[in-house]
Structure 1
């Protein structure tokens, strides 16, 4: 049996301190904790009911800030109702899908809430996608309407002919600050809702807690983007867990969200947490390391959402006298690296890091409710961290056919039990749903969700993130599907077959993409310029591999699956690899031959990716 990993006890949770903090939390919030536990059995609360209640309770308080505009809770709800009532007049009903392709702005939150009051589902398309990847995502969840922001119309127009649009009844455009002519066949949405009544629709009360709320596309661990189902339960649960229990949100708080709302951290954590206490959401159009703290001060934010890569970018900036010139008391997010955790808190004077762990498609979470350092927090749902074979890249089963839990300090594969309120809601694709499940894990008949993540057991119901496995890797705050990247490379005329995997670059979060290819031409005749155009047209920039390795063969398993373990281990190590490796350097769109000098600059972190 392969050893699980070298145990690390440097961040084990102290039992005495754990009991002390846990007792204080339960004494203060016992009723709220019980409410959260009872939520799956209530089934009357939905995102729409929260918004309508806030419109009464916090009527004149600011709900949304975006650039130089503000909306009160009363006005936000009224605008939502106009959209909802318009959609109802067109026959939109519970369970229908609306495709939404908009960047971060007020209209996006209005549209998502409007469809939710009917029980319809917003399919939130990743706005970074282009070409084939964009077409694939839209085709996965064919909707009754499609709503496109003017800022993304060109990207949509390029792939429209590749879409299965037979069942689409309406095409809507939502103008951004740069107005464009209304394209043929499109209706300007903001114009047609102007004269629609703004009363609360009768459908809100018919939407149940466990109903679907949105589709969020995730790379998952088995390849192509899948539409993960987000429920109203997830939104309401986050409002209580993150907003009231952890952040103790009030209407005096302002939550700055620079992350895209097609990602769960913004959609299902930051937004509901703010609305839980009548706080304001300050929408950032896009994260900018240069403008981040200026925006924090502009909105006077007290809380912000993050992903780990964002924190690393902020730490990499030169220290500034203004680093602590803000009112931020707490941050909520995931992926903050343990090695910079304490330095980040100290430099920016952040008292509480509300780290959490949760996959878009898994209805269970870890939350750092007790404010320990370097941890995902604790989990109230049934979970297990099981022994994992790092060479074979699979969970270990003992002689009886069952899996075993790791010891404290060890790393293993994280599983959640699929039952009750944490029953796996699955993907739109039922086949993909089944591939996510493990059966007969500890006893015959049990079912567990495979997260595809390696986690370190810290004791006291706490855990620490270690790494991601499977056919995805995380880079620039995004999950990158190796299968999707391989498909696009393999469609390039000079490539016979490719193999994509993630590799570590010193000083960066996650793993950078690396691809090994077998070309159908010589390396000297390979057209790198044409390849770059092909990639730029069909892929998001973060998904384009940083390193490209030429190979004459690629090892396969007996089932013809590409073997990646050895390639991952070799990485881009200049002295250990005889093949030529090329690198796409920062601010370049073409690959350059990796020389020893460039390799050493990367290792010394003089080249920043």
Structure 2
């Protein structure tokens, strides 16, 4: 309260004591009210605008209560699924192409998996890798394995060579289950995998006759083994606990090769319940999922809705822009999942009558760009878009449940800070741009950002609360690097997301960038150090810098590499393209290549990636040789001024 307001208040009290003219007292009262409003109008306005939104955070309570009940009764995912399958045995669990799977059928299939692997000598604590595209049996396999405590390791089917070798061996798996489509990828690495893990067994799962060229991998036909296994239910579920590991999902983290994040039963239960209560998904809904099930979005958040709560899911083998709306209409879907790239590809399709003939009431996901949001919602008549933010291993998830264009979530503004930190301990902290470490006050506590500033989103870890837990990596050293201490108070512990957010005055959060040696492209996190190692192996031991560059109207950043040319050693662009496509996942192959005489370094002799990123891939600025990936020509071709304009205008989809 300022001195003018205090003076007015004192004057008014004196007027009451000395019976001064009532009209004068009235003027003083008016001045007092006007001054009060003037001083406190901004917080009053913020309170008024955010109160209805912040009250919606009470939607967390049903999810918290569900998790509390599961913890109290030591329920695991297969235990909850057993209850759902018993309650809705004939209800459709999955629509997949022309197939229909009921809960009873998936339950029976998963029981066959359990009995089959028990008979082959597998038991609790063993690890089995799954390398499969979307299909109901994918869920049935990890569900059946989990019934006896076998931990699945979900492999990204885009991985190749060194990355795939790492993923198959970083956790000592007893077996790999794969589909015939991925036999070539496995054939390329099987000798090195055998050298590291000679005891790994291979099982091929296919609903058709296996081609001769797949028989050189020593594999057992799993589908045949399951056909002769019993579907009898066993009491092994009671050996599986609330805090046990359900499966591993690979995430890039912020540096190096993919890291295996442990998804425990309580995390699967919490993430599924949280999204359900926040979005309002019900039994009458039918969720269309085309995102890969080896990722958290579809494999945990989406699949949990059917495994835990009985909602029907329509599975697409892979995303297809031409068939997306046809499938939504055919299967009468009411909810669909997205990532930003899906929305952009759908907008790039020609207008069709089916664009608005669907029954979708909600689309939820992440990565929808602010400049595409309104166009997407209007063109396809989507009633509600719910953007959320989270990570496989993190605990700093937020959601935009009000439809604020461009925001990925919010932090409450009406709730007092001490109470907000108690029930929703997520904060955006300032980060030193040079050291990438949190900025701290004189007491050593992290400093929150002011409105309009950009900082790192951090979630406080609370050991007694499974909803605030951090899904640790299989690698303990990698886990330790993600921990920060003294976030909100002395002695507390937080999870560093590595993601930079900007917060506006109403508390809405906007994703701005990734920290560390990663960038996001095609819905995947790309490790620059991993790509640099492959490129150096391909072109010789020369300097190269990999980083992400923004493209107009594209989500994330496209990969770009600057290579320092060696004297008298020309680079064959076609050979480079083939090598990178063979060695790297498709999303990690650089889109742009720049050949330079040398690469500038910083004062500490590090490659100046920030300077290179600012220049980007503009041929109007760059005089060096500049190339762009061309999948049709299967090579890198010269990036001309005309091609540059077409890319920036969206005429060329990358």
Tell me whether the two structures share a fold, i.e. TM-score over 0.5.
yes
**Corresponding residue number in structure 2 for 1:581:** 626
Cα separation, 2, equivalents of 1:400 and 1:437: 19
**Corresponding residue number in structure 2 for 1:10:** none
Q: What's the secondary structure of 2:337's corresponding residue?
A: strand
Shift of 1:389: 4.1
Match for residue 201 of structure 2 among 170, 190, 193: 170
Shift of 1:188: 0.7
Match for residue 218 of structure 1 among 234, 248, 251: 251
Cα separation, 2, equivalents of 1:82 and 1:409: 55
Does structure 1 residue 416 correspond to structure 2 residue 459? yes
Structure having the higher Rg: 2
Contact 1:368 1:375 in 2 (8 A): yes
Contact 1:453 1:467 in 2 (8 A): yes
Cα separation, 2, equivalents of 1:533 and 1:30: 49
Does structure 1 residue 504 correspond to structure 2 residue 550? yes
**Corresponding residue number in structure 2 for 1:333:** 365
**Corresponding residue number in structure 2 for 1:5:** none
Q: Which moved more, 1:558-567 or 1:281-290?
A: 558-567
Q: What's the secondary structure of 2:538's corresponding residue?
A: coil
**Corresponding residue number in structure 2 for 1:119:** 149
Does structure 1 residue 267 correspond to structure 2 residue 314? no
Superposition map of 1:219-368 within 5 A: 219-250=252-283, 252-368=284-400
Change (3 A) 1:18 1:399: closer
Match for residue 439 of structure 1 among 476, 482, 485: 485
Contact 1:216 1:263 in 2 (8 A): yes
Residue-pair matches, total = 593
Change (3 A) 1:560 1:41: farther
Cα separation, 1, equivalents of 2:619 and 2:326: 41
Match for residue 180 of structure 2 among 140, 150, 156: 150
Bigger relative contact order, structure 1 or 2 (CA pairs below 8 A, ≥6 apart): 1
Cα separation, 1, equivalents of 2:295 and 2:257: 16
Cα separation, 1, equivalents of 2:64 and 2:460: 21
Cα separation, 2, equivalents of 1:585 and 1:576: 22
* 1:521-561 Cα deviation digits (max 9, x unpaired): 446x2222221221121112221111111233334457664
Q: What's the secondary structure of 1:533's corresponding residue?
A: helix
Change (3 A) 1:119 1:332: farther
Cα separation, 1, equivalents of 2:168 and 2:97: 29
Superposition map of 1:456-471 within 5 A: 456-458=502-504, 462-471=508-517
Shift of 1:493: 4.0
Contact 2:343 2:376 in 1 (8 A): yes
Query: What is the TM-score when the length of structure 1 is the normalising length?
Result: 0.91
Unaligned runs of 5+ in 1: 1-12
Change (3 A) 1:560 1:549: same
Contact 1:582 1:591 in 2 (8 A): yes
Q: What's the secondary structure of 2:358's corresponding residue?
A: coil
Cα separation, 2, equivalents of 1:120 and 1:16: 51
Cα separation, 2, equivalents of 1:471 and 1:153: 31
Q: Name the structure with the higher helix share.
A: 2
**Corresponding residue number in structure 2 for 1:388:** 431
* 1:459-484 Cα deviation digits (max 9, x unpaired): 56642222222111111121111111
* 1:551-589 Cα deviation digits (max 9, x unpaired): 333344576643311111111122333322222145342
Shift of 1:205: 2.3
Match for residue 63 of structure 1 among 85, 89, 93: 93
Contact 1:494 1:526 in 2 (8 A): no
Q: Which moved more, 1:80-89 or 1:458-467?
A: 458-467
Contact 1:244 1:276 in 2 (8 A): no
Shift of 1:89: 2.2
* 1:25-72 Cα deviation digits (max 9, x unpaired): 74xx68624414636843622210122111111110111121111111
**Corresponding residue number in structure 1 for 2:608:** 563
Does structure 1 residue 475 correspond to structure 2 residue 521? yes
Change (3 A) 1:236 1:33: closer
**Corresponding residue number in structure 1 for 2:472:** 426
Superposition map of 1:478-489 within 5 A: 478-489=524-535
Cα separation, 2, equivalents of 1:31 and 1:531: 54
Cα separation, 1, equivalents of 2:545 and 2:482: 22
Q: Which moved more, 1:350-359 or 1:180-189?
A: 180-189
**Corresponding residue number in structure 1 for 2:170:** 140
Q: What's the secondary structure of 1:156's corresponding residue?
A: helix
Cα separation, 1, equivalents of 2:602 and 2:73: 47
Shift of 1:602: 2.7
Cα separation, 1, equivalents of 2:241 and 2:279: 25
Superposition map of 1:26-65 within 5 A: 26=58, 32-36=62-66, 38=68, 41-42=71-72, 44-65=74-95
Q: What's the secondary structure of 1:592's corresponding residue?
A: strand
Cα separation, 2, equivalents of 1:418 and 1:320: 48
Q: What's the secondary structure of 1:496's corresponding residue?
A: coil
Q: What's the secondary structure of 2:235's corresponding residue?
A: coil
Contact 2:483 2:496 in 1 (8 A): yes
Q: Which moved more, 1:97-106 or 1:417-426?
A: 417-426
